[in-house]
């Protein structure tokens, strides 16, 4: 910072009221704040969470994002004469490209970049990402994630480059320079750059059992040498902000840990930027709630990410400043840090977002030269684990492309893509992107061959070779936590396809889409070649680049990807290693012999995926479906249908939805004892993270006749009623005879007083009237998957 810059910061600070200062350290989500609120509360920052977009539309076109950025900016600058005007700063999760924006270039997720072992490439990716962010008017990304994951059961492991601290550290400086430009006194926004944020400080990748937002019990030495390592290059390269982790270290939540934030990060590591919390993470600090957390401010937090809680948090923080709970000197330090970053950005002189360089250059979103770099990154990230000689394939042939992941851009892009979980999307939502299938088809067609897509492997014309694409489906954060290192059973179906193709004498190349190494010995044994594609993003053609020979039958490119972490031989975390860190074959190695692997996973099957309580008309393992009186009397546990209960007043039948008998229909006559339909388990589940994360209960329903009396929805805690029942207008308005996915934010149940840490029944319908309804599925998910979203009264 120049002396002039610092003088400007101090002048501003001296002219600010306590209200204006508190506003600067509060960040709200665009889904819960208006420009008018920004003007009134002097808010310093907004963010768009994974599920937020302009006007409530996560898929809003790029120009709407820019227009909204202008509106927030104008509100922040609209001040009475003599009042300080401080431009707002907008943060976004551009974690693999500007990944919330339709049409943006989507780079491989970090785990794939870790395989590429190419720091110079990382800097180019950072620069392109920054340019695309600038197009839509934001000036801050919550990236790079510099976690060093030690347990790949963690649902965020793919956001980390590697489990190796040295490899992670070797990338951090490059990514920060790409995003922010070199550390210098020149304004960041003067170049093609934005402010970066290293996250999640500290040891987010060290939690026990890989539990997201869990507790890291590691020693201080490991904390420093493994998890602290990436923060050294981050400081050297002048990262503007640091985001604290949801997790805790030795039982103390990081966001309230003064020793780590104030003493280590700021004093010892000499961090000069500002520290922002994660999404309502302050609410998890002992003694705090989402609405109040002086402990975090006093521990050294400079900005609260208070997406939907900002209003109450603003009020409590202001009161705590006024009564001295938060010392004025601490507030001044926090505000000065925020202002310094704004000064360093050049925000005070930048003008409105749409007037800045790159703004509105929509041609730069997904520009061909950007996509070319993403495609190069895909090529460099692929890791060849097996090749008995089938690769490279001859493109002048007939190629079958099979597997459920072959033509699915959402799947190859993973979480944090357009929507938070990366779910609820179809190929049409990805303007300009290329699926793996399309890339293969193009490659083969250009060489005079032909390709055929048949996800189930049932080909029309006998192929010369088959490529089977399989693997994980998208997830983000805790929704991706898994108990053991294996694919869910339904995702293993392509193994049988491989077997059938082999039996028909067709050589098979397996391509795995995945955020992490998993036990897949069966596929490794079946296939003649095996390529790990990680989560490649929008440029699926980068995969074909490596699978096919070019002219003269020589491979056009060679593999250079190396495992960024060890690959397991069983599904047990901490079990034996199959391929070590750094492993990866090349064409130069030539064909390699294969010795069949044991197909003993050494763990029990996981059963159904978490968060699905009822599917295709059946309760999932450990859940049961019951019809009873409202007070629980006369219960009928529905196992087979048809079934009759409530002394003949209720009957349950099979109904069809998506598949034959994929739903259950309840026909219940009115009665004074009432009736309840409930999905429940013996043991309570803790849904507090899901509640904080804006996850919804999604019920796929068909009202078969209008109910004769109000129907209440509720949850139960520890086997008893908890919270007030919800009478949702959206439920009452469901059109009879039509299947609808009704989304009820878990927050709604929490707001009625339910203890979301002890849920035994996530779904319950209650009525005294007649009820005729069919239910196909009850599960947790996001708003993108709902047809109707309940607007329940909150607070």
Query: What single string gives the DSSP state of each residue in 111-130?
Result: HHHHHH--HHHHHHHHHHHH
Residue 160 contacts ligand BGC per CB under 6 A: no
Q: Which residues pair with 774 in a beta bridge?
A: 665, 702
Residue from 39, 43, 54, 93 binding ligand BGC (CB under 6 A) = 93
CA–CA distance, 50 with 478 (Å, rounded to integer): 14
| Smallest separation (angstroms) from ligand BGC to the CB of 562 | 26
CA–CA distance, 716 with 329 (Å, rounded to integer): 46
What string marks each residue from 246 to 285 as x (binds ligand BGC by CB under 6 A) or -? --------------------------------xx------
Looking at the Cβ atoms of 507 and 693, the one nearer to ligand BGC is 693
Residue from 35, 49, 455, 568 binding ligand BGC (CB under 6 A) = 49
Residue from 39, 98, 193, 199 binding ligand BGC (CB under 6 A) = 199
Per-residue tokens: 294: 């002086």
Q: Which stretch binds ligand BGC (CB under 6 A): 48-56, 127-135, 400-408, 618-626?
A: 48-56
The H-assigned helical ranges of 136-269 are 165-180, 220-222, 231-236, 258
Radius of gyration of the chain (CA): 27
CA–CA distance, 284 with 253 (Å, rounded to integer): 7
Looking at the Cβ atoms of 466 and 784, the one nearer to ligand BGC is 784
CA–CA distance, 23 with 16 (Å, rounded to integer): 10
User: 215, 278, 472, 690: which is the annotated catalytic residue?
Assistant: 278
CA–CA distance, 279 with 692 (Å, rounded to integer): 8
User: 477, 481, 730, 785: which is the annotated catalytic residue?
Assistant: 477
List binders of ligand BGC among 465-494 (CB under 6 A): 477
Looking at the Cβ atoms of 91 and 403, the one nearer to ligand BGC is 91
Residue 214 contacts ligand BGC per CB under 6 A: no
Largest Cα span, the chain: 83
Contact 179, 196 (CB under 8 A): yes
| Smallest separation (angstroms) from ligand BGC to the CB of 419 | 8
Looking at the Cβ atoms of 413 and 776, the one nearer to ligand BGC is 413
| Smallest separation (angstroms) from ligand BGC to the CB of 267 | 25
Residue 51 contacts ligand BGC per CB under 6 A: yes
Contacts of residue 612, defined as CB under 8 A and 6 or more positions apart, other chains included, come to: 620, 777, 778, 779, 780
If one counts every other C-beta atom within 10 angstroms of the C-beta of residue 128, the result is 26
Number of residues that this document lists for the chain: 795
CA–CA distance, 710 with 767 (Å, rounded to integer): 6
Residue from 162, 532, 692, 776 binding ligand BGC (CB under 6 A) = 692
Verify whether residue 278 is a known catalytic residue: yes
Looking at the Cβ atoms of 566 and 792, the one nearer to ligand BGC is 792
Residue 154 contacts ligand BGC per CB under 6 A: no
| Alpha carbon distances (Å) from 343 to 87, 88, 179, 303, 313 | 10, 12, 17, 16, 26
Residue from 73, 420, 567, 587 binding ligand BGC (CB under 6 A) = 420
Query: What single string gives the DSSP state of each residue in 502-534?
Result: HHTT--EEEEEE-SS--B-HHHHHH-SEEEEEE
Looking at the Cβ atoms of 72 and 279, the one nearer to ligand BGC is 279
Residue 694 contacts ligand BGC per CB under 6 A: yes
Looking at the Cβ atoms of 429 and 477, the one nearer to ligand BGC is 477
Per-residue tokens: 85: 């005007």
Q: Which stretch binds ligand BGC (CB under 6 A): 355-363, 403-411, 482-490, 692-700?
A: 692-700
Looking at the Cβ atoms of 133 and 569, the one nearer to ligand BGC is 133
| Smallest separation (angstroms) from ligand BGC to the CB of 685 | 17
Residue 50 contacts ligand BGC per CB under 6 A: yes
Verify whether residue 526 is a known catalytic residue: no
Residue 142 contacts ligand BGC per CB under 6 A: yes
Q: Which residue has the tokens 């009736």?
A: 675
Q: Which stretch binds ligand BGC (CB under 6 A): 368-376, 588-596, 639-647, 691-699?
A: 691-699
Query: What single string gives the DSSP state of each residue in 448-503?
Result: T-EEEE-TTS--SS--SEEEEEEEPPP--GGGG--SSSB--GGGGHHHHHHHHHHH
Please identify every residue annotated as catalytic: 278, 477
Binding site for ligand BGC (CB under 6 A): 47, 49-51, 93, 142, 199, 278-279, 420, 477, 692-694
């Amino acid at each position: 910072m120049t002396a002039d810059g610092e003088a400007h910061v101090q002048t501003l600070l001296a002219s600010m009221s306590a209200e204006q200062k508190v506003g600067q350290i509060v960040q709200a989500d665009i889904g819960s704040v208006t420009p008018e609120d920004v003007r009134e509360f002097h808010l310093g920052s907004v963010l768009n969470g994974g599920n937020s977009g302009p006007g409530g539309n996560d898929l809003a076109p790029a120009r709407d994002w820019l227009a909204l950025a202008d509106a927030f900016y104008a509100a922040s600058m609209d001040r009475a004469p003599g009042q300080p005007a401080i431009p707002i700063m907008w943060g976004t999760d551009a974690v693999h490209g500007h990944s919330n924006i339709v049409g943006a270039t989507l780079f491989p997720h970090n785990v794939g970049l870790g395989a590429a072992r190419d720091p110079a490439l990382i800097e180019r990716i950072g620069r392109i990402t920054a340019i695309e962010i600038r197009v839509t008017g934001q000036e801050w990304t919550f990236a790079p994630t510099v976690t060093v994951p030690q347990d790949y059961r963690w649902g965020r492991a793919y956001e980390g480059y590697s489990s190796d601290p040295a490899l992670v550290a070797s990338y951090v400086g490059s990514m920060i320079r790409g995003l922010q430009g070199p550390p210098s006194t020149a304004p960041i926004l003067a170049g093609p750059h934005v402010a970066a944020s290293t996250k999640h400080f500290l040891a987010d990748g060290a939690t026990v059992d890989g539990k997201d937002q869990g507790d890291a019990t590691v020693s201080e030495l490991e904390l420093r040498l493994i998890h602290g390592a990436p923060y050294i290059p981050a400081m050297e390269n002048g990262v503007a902000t640091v985001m604290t982790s949801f997790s805790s270290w030795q039982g103390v939540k990081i966001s309230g840990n003064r020793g780590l934030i104030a003493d280590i990060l700021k004093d010892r590591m000499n961090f000069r930027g500002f520290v922002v919390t994660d999404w309502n993470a302050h609410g998890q600090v002992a003694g705090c709630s989402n609405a109040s957390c002086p402990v975090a401010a006093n521990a050294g937090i400079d900005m609260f990410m208070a997406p939907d809680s900002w209003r109450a948090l603003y009020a409590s923080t202001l009161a705590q400043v006024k009564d001295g709970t938060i010392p004025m000197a601490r507030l001044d330090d926090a505000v000065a840090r925020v202002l310094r970053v704004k000064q360093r950005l050049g925000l005070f002189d930048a003008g409105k977002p749409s007037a800045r360089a790159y703004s509105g250059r929509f041609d730069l979103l997904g520009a061909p030269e950007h996509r070319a770099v993403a495609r190069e990154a895909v090529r460099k990230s692929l890791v060849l684990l097996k090749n008995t000689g089938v690769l490279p394939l001859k493109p002048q042939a007939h190629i079958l492309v099979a597997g459920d992941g072959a033509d699915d851009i959402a799947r190859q892009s993973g979480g944090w893509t357009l929507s938070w979980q990366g779910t609820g999307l179809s190929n049409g939502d990805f303007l300009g992107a290329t699926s793996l299938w399309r890339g293969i088809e193009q490659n083969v067609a250009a060489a005079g061959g032909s390709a055929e897509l048949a996800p189930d492997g049932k080909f029309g014309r006998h192929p010369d070779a088959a490529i089977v694409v399989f693997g994980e489906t998208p997830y983000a954060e805790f929704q991706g936590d898994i108990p053991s290192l294996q694919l869910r059973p339904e995702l293993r179906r392509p193994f049988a396809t491989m077997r059938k193709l082999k039996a028909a004498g067709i050589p098979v190349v397996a391509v795995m889409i995945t955020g992490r190494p998993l036990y897949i010995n069966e596929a490794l044994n079946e296939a003649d070649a095996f390529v790990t594609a990680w989560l490649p993003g929008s440029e699926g053609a980068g995969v074909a680049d490596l699978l096919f020979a070019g002219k003269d039958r020589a491979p056009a490119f060679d593999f250079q990807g190396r495992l960024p972490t060890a690959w397991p031989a069983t599904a047990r975390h901490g079990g034996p290693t199959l391929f070590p860190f750094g492993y990866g074959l090349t064409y130069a190695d030539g064909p390699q012999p294969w010795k069949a692997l044991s197909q003993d996973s050494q763990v029990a099957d996981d059963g159904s995926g978490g968060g699905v309580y009822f599917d295709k008309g059946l309760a999932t393992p450990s859940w049961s479906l019951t019809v009873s009186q409202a007070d629980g009397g006369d219960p009928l546990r529905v196992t087979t249908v048809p079934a009759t209960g409530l002394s003949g007043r209720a009957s349950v039948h099979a109904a069809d939805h998506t598949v034959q008998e994929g739903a259950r229909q309840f026909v219940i006559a009115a009665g004074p004892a009432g009736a309840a339909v409930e999905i429940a388990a013996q043991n309570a589940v803790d849904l507090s993270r899901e509640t904080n994360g804006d996850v919804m209960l999604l019920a796929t329903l068909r009202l078969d006749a209008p109910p004769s009396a109000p129907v209440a929805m509720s949850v139960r805690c520890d086997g008893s009623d908890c919270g007030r029942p919800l009478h949702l207008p959206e439920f009452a308005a469901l059109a009879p005879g039509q299947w609808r996915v009704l989304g009820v934010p878990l927050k709604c149940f929490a707001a009625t007083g339910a203890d979301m840490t002890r849920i035994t029944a996530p779904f319950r319908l209650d009525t005294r009237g007649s009820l005729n309804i069919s239910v196909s599925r009850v599960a947790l998910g996001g708003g993108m998957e709902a047809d109707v979203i309940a607007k329940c009264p909150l607070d």
